[in-house]
Amino acid sequence: MSRTPARPDGQDPEQFEPARRRAERLGRVLTTRAIVLAGLIVVVVAVGTLWLLLALFGAGTPADQAQLDVFRATGNVVLGAGGAVALVLAARRQRLGELELRRKEQELAQRDHAQRHVEQVASDTAAHQQRLAEDARVDAAERRITELYTKAADQLGSEKTPIRLAGLYALERLAQNTPDQRQTIVNLLCAYLRLPYTLPTGTRLPPWSSLRAPGPEQDATDSQQPDTDDRTSDQELEVRGTAQRILADHLFPGDSPGVTRPEFWPGITLNLTGAVLCHFDFRGCRIGNVRFGGARFAGWTRFEDVEFTGYAIFGGSEFDRSANFKRARFHGSALFRGAIFRNGALFDEAVFRDEALFGGVRMIDGVPHEDGAVFGGAVSFAAATFERDVVLEQVRVEDDAAEHVWPPGGTTPA
């Protein structure tokens, strides 16, 4: 016995079998020839029956009339049965028409399903190719960033000053164009500034930011014939000053309230622990967490209007000249224990929203150590705001004759 094979997708094969073949399985469909032949047979039988009735009962007697009435009633019954048969045939035709319509609908739905499948496959293929292209683009960009970063880092290790400067500017451009690499590049700049460095010997730093100019106490002979080591140190000082200016420029949000400079790098943290910083100018900058512990600020230091959004650690740092923290805002802890201010410190109108520690006792390996800041020159906290505790215990002042302004409510150093 032949059997219709199952479809690969597991669906019932009879669902997609043509309606006419299904009808033939239920019962043979009448053909046009059969219908015409049946009609001729009916006509012949009707004519023959009429002729027979006329021959047998055409005399007109009452008995013949009664029999004709019987045959007439019988004919009506037969006609009624014929009408019923006609209704059945009409219903059969209607059923076949419905089956054919359903078959066409199924074929149309199948074509639509196949079309949707083709479109879905095409869409998935296009999306896959787009993902591959995007992955290739990202990989190429990552490789390019890595190459630029590696090359710039190698330039920082060069012995030639112009090459080191070129490395700094390449890192700056890379950080500006790739925000997700900014903190990494800032970490590299901070690491460079933390490298051991000795200031030029036999000369003082210039009074302003022109670090290449001879100091006021340097004689003409030293200026005209600088020592080779000093000249090398001066060149390195220029490189370090450039690194400081890059950081300061990109941590300055701008002067217009509500409008941020496109060059501003938000959310940056600094780690300059133990670094030697010359003429450090961070006026108006906005910084996250900062670590300046043990750093040496050679030359003037300006933190005016700086906003420290995280903690600020200056413990053990040294300020060779005046340290200006006017209107600075400390949102986190401000730690100045052990700091040395050799030529005065200004904290006028500064705002401390968390603890401000300029002195106190630290526990090191379970042993208490007095650790207070040392102020040389005048120190002023005029109009400063302290929202939490301010600690000045163990703070020492070297110039008692200077006019100091201490925080209200704080312990005045002896």
Residues 257 and 199 in one domain: yes
pLDDT in tens, 198-221: 887 654 554 443 333 333 333 333
Q: Is residue 219 part of a domain?
A: no
SS3 328: coil
- Mean pLDDT for the stretch of residues 131-149: 84
The domain in which residue 33 lies consists of 13-141
Residues 135 and 177 in one domain: no
Structural domain includes residue 149 = no
- Co-location of 161 and 296 in the same domain: yes
With respect to residue 379, please indicate whether it lies within any of the assigned structural domains: yes
According to the model, what pLDDT value does residue 224 have? 42
Of these ranges, 127-131, 287-291, 391-395, the one predicted with the greatest mean pLDDT is 287-291
Q: With contact defined as beta carbons under 8 Å apart, do 337 and 358 qualify?
A: yes
In a domain, 385, yes or no: yes
**Is 5 inside any structural domain?**
no
Is the same domain home to 375 and 242? yes
Pick the most confident of 69-83, 155-169, 195-209, 385-399.
155-169
Range from 29-33, 96-100, 156-160 carrying the lowest mean pLDDT: 29-33
19 with 125, same domain? Answer: yes
Q: Residue 68 gets which letter from DSSP?
A: H
Q: pTM for the full model? A: 0.65
The per-residue pLDDT for range 344-382, each reduced to its tens digit, is 999 999 999 999 999 887 777 778 878 899 998 899 999
**Would the pLDDT of 397 be above 70?**
yes
Q: Could you give the number of structural domains in the chain?
A: 2
Please indicate, yes or no, if residue 148 is contained in any of the structural domains: no
Q: Is residue 409 part of a domain?
A: no
Kindly state whether residues 101 and 249 are assigned to the same domain: no
160 — pLDDT class (breaks 50, 70, 90): very high
126 lies in the same domain as 178: no
Q: Give residue 46's pLDDT band: very low, low, confident or very high (50, 70, 90).
A: confident
Greater confidence (187 vs 47) lies with: 187
Same domain, 101 and 193: no
Q: Pick the last residue of a domain from 96, 116, 141.
A: 141
Which of 141, 167, 185 is a domain's end point?
141
Is 230's pLDDT higher than 60? no
Query: What pLDDT is recorded for position 226?
Result: 47
52 and 118 both lie in a single domain: yes
Question: Cα separation of 4 and 285, whole Å?
Answer: 82
Average pLDDT, the chain: 82
In a domain, 411, yes or no: no
End-to-end CA distance of the chain: 116
Q: What's the pLDDT tens digit per position in 233-279?
A: 778 899 999 999 999 999 999 988 889 999 999 999 999 999 999 99
CB contact at 8 A, 275 and 193: yes
Q: Which two tokens stand for residue 350?
A: 């500064």
